[in-house]
Amino acid sequence: MRLTAIKLAGFKSFVDPTHIPIVGQMVGVVGPNGCGKSNVIDAVRWVLGESQAKQLRGESMQDVIFNGSGTRKPVSRASVELVFDNSLGRAAGQWTQYAEISVKRVLNRNGDSSYYVNNQHVRRRDLTDIFLGTGLGTKTSYAIIEQGMISRIIEAKPDELRGFLEEAAGISKYKERRRETESR
Ligand code: ATP
Ligand code: MG
């Protein structure tokens, strides 16, 4: 699955609707300190189901909602949508058949949070399931390599290292399903 666009609104510093097309094999995000480069990465992590505010450099999850600036009032909701090219049919489960997949997460200040896949309201885990075995999952994702990640892999305990390898080999989705079946 290839990411083709990131759409944000009310997310951190991206108060106005912003469409970031991801074109070609390599895209660089450049800009002065504090302009929002890392916020774009936070947005990707967030929509993929990140549930720890700390991972997104905040205290609480509501911190991802634009909280105002010198010239703008805070807004009441944040939304991020990722558009993927799925022409190779790599998305797991019922979504395999769609050539394009859009995943979206919306959070209101009152704490209401919703997830959508191709504009269908889904549970968080329906969304995260799509990415099992693609390397984009939240648990053992290796699609986002941040500072400190390389040393985490080098210093990983055998179990954790095995998790990375299983995700890369595409077998983690089967293990996850077995775990589910066994727990029923
Ligand atoms: P650097 O080059 O220093 O790494 P950067 O481009 O990665 O900078 P970010 O960390 O993405 O910058 O953006 C930081 C900016 O985002 C700060 O100005 C901060 O005030 C703003 N910001 C973060 N969260 C919010 C929020 N909830 N509402 C409004 N602005 C926010
Ligand atoms: Mg940064």
Q: What is the pLDDT of residues 128-176, one digit of tens each?
A: 888 877 777 665 566 788 777 788 889 999 998 898 888 778 787 788 8
Q: What is the pLDDT of residue 138?
A: 60
Q: Distance, CA 36 to ligand 1 centroid (Å)?
A: 5
Instruction: State what percent of residues in the chain have pLDDT above 90.
Output: 62
Indicate whether residue 66 lines ligand 1 (CB < 6 A).
yes
20-29 residue pLDDT tens: 999 988 999 9
| Calpha distance 42→166 (Å, rounded) | 25
Indicate whether residue 36 lines ligand 1 (CB < 6 A).
yes
- Give the dihedral of Cα atoms 116, 14, 41, 105; nearest 10 deg: -10
Look-up of token digits 């985490």 = 152
Is the ipTM higher than 0.85? The answer is yes
Pocket probe for ligand 1: among 11, 16, 33, 38, the residue whose CB has the most ligand atoms within 8 Å is: 38
For ligand 1, atom 28, name the residue with the nearest CA.
Answer: 66
Ligand with minimal distance to 36 CA: 1
Indicate whether residue 70 lines ligand 1 (CB < 6 A).
no
In the predicted structure, residue 109 carries a pLDDT above the cut 90 = yes
